[in-house]
Amino acid sequence: MTKLEQDLLLAHSLIEDKEKYVDYYWEFYRMWPFTTINMKEYLKPFDLKNKNCMTIQGSSDHIFELFLKNPKKIIGIDTNPLTKYYCYLKIAAFNILDTPKEFLNFFKYYDYPKTFKKNYKVFDKDIFQEISKYLKNDIKIFWEDLFKNYEPIKIRSMLFSSDEDNTKALYQALNYLSLENYEYIKNNINKIDFSFINSDIRTLQNKLKEKQDFIALSNLIIYAHKMYPGKPLTGFKHLIENLAKILNNNGQIIVGYLYDIENNDDYREVYKQELRNIIFNEPEYSYHYVKRMEDLHLNQTSTNHDACLIYTDKTLSKKY
List the chain domain ranges: 3-312
The DSSP letter of residue 250 is E
For the range 204-208, what are the long-range contacts, defined as Cβ-Cβ under 8 Å and sequence gap of 24 or more? 204/77, 204/243, 205/242, 205/243, 205/245, 205/246, 208/54, 208/75, 208/246
Beta bridge partners of 256: 309
> pLDDT: is 115 or 48 the higher one?
48
Q: What is the pTM of this model?
A: 0.92
pLDDT tens, 48-76?
999 999 999 999 999 999 999 999 999 99
- The neighbour count for residue 23, using CB atoms within 10 Å, is 9
CB distance 268 to 232 below 8 Å: yes
- For residue 25, the model assigns a pLDDT of 44
Out of 49-58, 277-286, 300-309, least confident range: 300-309
Strands 305-312 and 52-56, sheet pairing: unpaired
pLDDT at residue 112 greater than cutoff 90: no
Out of 100-104, 145-149, 209-213, least confident range: 209-213
d(CA 228, CA 292): 28
Domain covering 3-312, topology: Rossmann fold (3.40.50)
| Mean pLDDT, the chain, integer | 90
The DSSP letter of residue 110 is B
pLDDT at residue 26 greater than cutoff 50: no
Give me the phi and psi of 304, to 5 degrees please: -75, -170
pLDDT tens, 230-275?
899 999 999 999 999 999 999 999 999 999 898 888 899 999 999 9
Out of 8-12, 107-111, 249-253, 306-310, least confident range: 107-111
Q: In this prediction, what percent of the chain has a pLDDT beyond 90?
A: 72
